[in-house]
Amino acid sequence: MSVPFPANRPEFTPAARQAAEQLVTMALAEDFGERGDVTSTLFIDPARQGQVDIGVRKPGALAGLPIVPLVLQQVESSIEWTPRIEDGDRIQPSQVVGTLSGPVQKILMAERTILNFLTHLSGVATLTSRYADLVAGTQARILDTRKTLPGYRLLEKYAVCCGGGENHRMGLYDAVMLKDNHLASMTHSHPEQIVADVRARYEGIQIIVEVDRFEQIETVLGWQPDVILLDNMPPDELLKAVQLRDRQASGVQLEASGGITLQTVAEVAQSGVDRISVGEITHSAPSLDLGFDWHA
């Protein structure tokens, strides 16, 4: 079953745009060095005009289109960019993502940087969409993690949403997440009081507590966190955790995490958990094959 893209497409926020602009600057500096594009400068007449399509080679989900004009702004603002489809669209081979028109020399200078962003982010969106398709019809949603490339977090998390997933916390600043190492190192004898104190201090902040043994769940349910993260639990234990939660604290969401793959995610979702977080969708997504197809 294929998951239709939601009515509200993900927003490419001002913060994401700022991150993209900085990354584009670095990417072009890596390519141009002190001499610029020696090949295009020497062999391509600067007056020559041309047109090229960005074509789809492999099926997937698209992400990263707002970055194309940001590259062009830094390379050659006279290049005209005409997108043909939108971020979040499911794409098939032979489709055209968009068209670039203008000085051929400058388009060639921008080619690799444009494709690097589009293929990477579309790869994230594509892998996310594969996970989302596999849990369709259950109540589980696919979430990302903080396992992102430095500097790319906002862009990769945007791409996750383009693929039909959702974002976990953005960073250490926007949610409380008590993991096993926090709990093992904590000296406070009344963690439930900490949860209450956090809610009083940071209005609306989400509180997540990780457990890695079924025996811990009942105690943590009593703390009334927003989410309990069930780390590396097999499906039969996930099912028991859902049943326990439903009896004792139905308002607490359960999240499965750890070692989940495309082969196991459907069974995990069938347990009744609310959330499934998958690090692979950002840290190991293969690039989606896109390329430049020049007009004759």
Q: Is 179 a catalytic residue?
A: yes
Task: Find the range with the poorest average confidence among 91-100, 190-199, 217-226.
Answer: 190-199
Phi, psi of 163 (to 5 degrees): -90, 5
Residue 49, domain extent? 14-133+285-294
If asked whether residues 156 and 126 sit together in one domain, one would say no
pLDDT at residue number 186: 66
What is d(CA 129, CA 166) in angstroms, rounded to the nearest whole number?
A: 11
Catalytic residue among 179, 192, 237, 267: 179
Catalytic residue among 112, 146, 199, 240: 112
In-domain check, residue 152 = yes
If asked whether residues 102 and 179 sit together in one domain, one would say no
Catalytic residue among 210, 245, 274, 275: 210
Tokens 């670095």 locate to 26
If asked whether residues 46 and 159 sit together in one domain, one would say no
DSSP 214: G
Going by C-alpha positions, the residue among 207, 278, 273 that lies closest to residue 234 is: 273
> Rounded to the nearest 10 degrees, what angle do helices 14-32 and 153-162 cross at?
120
* Stretch 77-87: mean pLDDT: 97
How many domains does the chain fold into? 2
CB 274 within 8 A of CB 226: no
pLDDT of residue 4 exceeding 50: no
* The two structure tokens encoding residue 111: 């080619």
pTM: 0.94
* The two structure tokens encoding residue 236: 């039969």
If asked whether residues 154 and 95 sit together in one domain, one would say no
pLDDT of residue 209 exceeding 70: yes
If asked whether residues 173 and 187 sit together in one domain, one would say yes
Count the Cβ atoms, other than its own, within 10 Å of residue 94. Answer: 9
In-domain check, residue 2 = no
Catalytic residue among 21, 192, 212, 231: 231
pLDDT at residue number 5: 46
The model's confidence at residue 183, banded by pLDDT at 50, 70 and 90, is low
Q: Is 210 a catalytic residue?
A: yes
Q: Is 112 a catalytic residue?
A: yes
If asked whether residues 124 and 227 sit together in one domain, one would say no
In-domain check, residue 5 = no
CATH number, domain with residue 26:
3.90.1170.20
Catalytic residue among 147, 192, 199, 289: 147
CB 98 within 8 A of CB 162: no
pLDDT of residue 20 exceeding 70: yes
